Structure 1
């Protein structure tokens, strides 16, 4: 299948980054940004800016009937996933390929429960250092999308179609034939980096150099390694160093999404990270004290929002 039409739901950092990139290459009518009418009105009034350039998006509401997309990309926060699944129903057809760039290790299965796992390719967004403040996104590194089938060792026609499309539109990408391992590796990084930078109220630079914050981050990541073995994924120290190298490519002044949430006094994805680690730790009888500390810190941080 040749991918010609793309729908994106979620205009956070990733949705804005990918949407802006594609909008400069694709015919406007072939790229659809799904949003409710109130959001669309706000976006049109204030504009959305990517590295100082105003984005030229083709918006469509969830209620509008349309031809299904060849490729559907989820870039919402996890707490908005169920609403997003409802909102994209007119964009999913028999041949639609779905990618989820959400954090965590569960969004593909959740989307697949509604639209069928046969439409899903597993996906990890890595290496970007995008920061979005209100309607303005800035980034130094675009990173890349890694994707593949859930079943290890195969490169399906769906995978080839997406790779061909990303090559045509010059979007950095990589095919991975062991996506569960990649998904857990990114989860490990997020558990360490997202939470530590937010709790230490800092930036990537703080965890790129030796010190207490970096030690905390690595200790949280090692707790994920211990759990991964019990979950049949088996991350290793080699994986830890791979993801630390990815971290080293990011702008020191950048911040992960959880730190941006704390700055804006928004609810975070802590349940997706240390919350998941604590639940798996309890399931397997493995202590996870660093993630317990980070989880508790987030409860204190978020409980303070009501006072502002």
Structure 2
């Protein structure tokens, strides 16, 4: 059924990921886009590879002012989900779709307590975003696609929503494998940059490459047990992908540590360790990284 009015979209979490996609959707001019923020803004600037978006934007700072929308794009860190519970409750109705643009696995289970009968659309994010100011973001490509979804009716609806933006969407029948492959990237990219306080140039070091492969090989055993169809040389493939990213690009965990914020460690490295425990698979390297990152996060 066609909408008589513009499709309504609420973006919850205006960090690097949320800011980029909010600006790109608003620039299309065919949607009613609202951003849900702590710091009020009236414009949003997104620096993209081929142009710069500079557009007025509607911002809400109080969840009490929110009403149900057609789409919620949840772009907070995964561990921050309970902090935006009131936003989700107010924005979600029976016909709402919630695209979860968060790291990790288990998107639907994480959202279930907060969205009532709304529909979860698990989404994998591949693009690199950087928050330069509360109202200014930088978008950089990091592969063949910017986003991935299941190839079902909800994934197709999300792909249609994004159509016309610079975001390329992959639809896949094997979302579990895609989710694990993204998780594998995150369990080396985020911890290593956060622990060394270096951007992605650090992955050009031979010792770091060897460490990454060992961490990844350990995690791929867990991923296969969880149903992911991972190749025998998955670890080296993931490292090769990581080395295609710009050397001066940061990661979300790197930026969080610089800012003294808690780290998204439980959803990434913690997910591998927890899944390993569930299947009785030892994960000593990932557990070591988890302990170190937890100490940093707790101090923050």
Pair in the same fold by TM > 0.5: yes
**Hey, what's the Cα distance between the residues in 2 that align with 1:26 and 1:53?**
12
TM-score calculated relative to the size of structure 1: 0.82
**Hey, what's the Cα distance between the residues in 1 that align with 2:66 and 2:53?**
30
Residues 80 and 162 (structure 1), Cα distance of their counterparts in 2 relative to 1, 3 Å cut: same
Deviation at 1:48, TM superposition (A): 5.5
**Hey, what's the Cα distance between the residues in 2 that align with 1:56 and 1:264?**
27
Within the alignment, does 1:24 sit opposite 2:24 as a pair?
no
Partner in structure 1 of residue 79 of structure 2 = 79
Give unpaired runs (5+ residues) of structure 2: none
Partner in structure 1 of residue 224 of structure 2 = 229
Q: Specify the SS of the correspondent of 2:159.
A: helix
Residues 236 and 116 (structure 1), Cα distance of their counterparts in 2 relative to 1, 3 Å cut: farther
| Higher-strand-fraction structure | 2
**Hey, what's the Cα distance between the residues in 2 that align with 1:105 and 1:185?**
11
Residues 92 and 265 (structure 1), Cα distance of their counterparts in 2 relative to 1, 3 Å cut: same
Within the alignment, does 1:186 sit opposite 2:176 as a pair?
no
Within the alignment, does 1:131 sit opposite 2:130 as a pair?
yes
TM-score calculated relative to the size of structure 2: 0.84
Contact 1:227–1:286 under 8 Å retained in 2: yes
How many residues of Structure 1 are paired with residues of Structure 2 in the alignment?
A: 289
Q: Specify the SS of the correspondent of 1:100.
A: strand
Contact 2:209–2:239 under 8 Å retained in 1: no
Deviation at 1:5, TM superposition (A): 2.0
Partner in structure 1 of residue 94 of structure 2 = 94
- CA RMSD across the alignment: 2.7
| Higher-helix-fraction structure | 1
Partner in structure 2 of residue 145 of structure 1 = 147
Partner in structure 2 of residue 57 of structure 1 = 57
Contact 1:2–1:165 under 8 Å retained in 2: no
**Hey, what's the Cα distance between the residues in 2 that align with 1:110 and 1:85?**
11
Deviation at 1:303, TM superposition (A): 5.9
Counterpart pick for 1:15 among 2, 8, 18: 18
Deviation at 1:157, TM superposition (A): 2.9
Deviation at 1:49, TM superposition (A): 4.3
Partner in structure 1 of residue 210 of structure 2 = 215
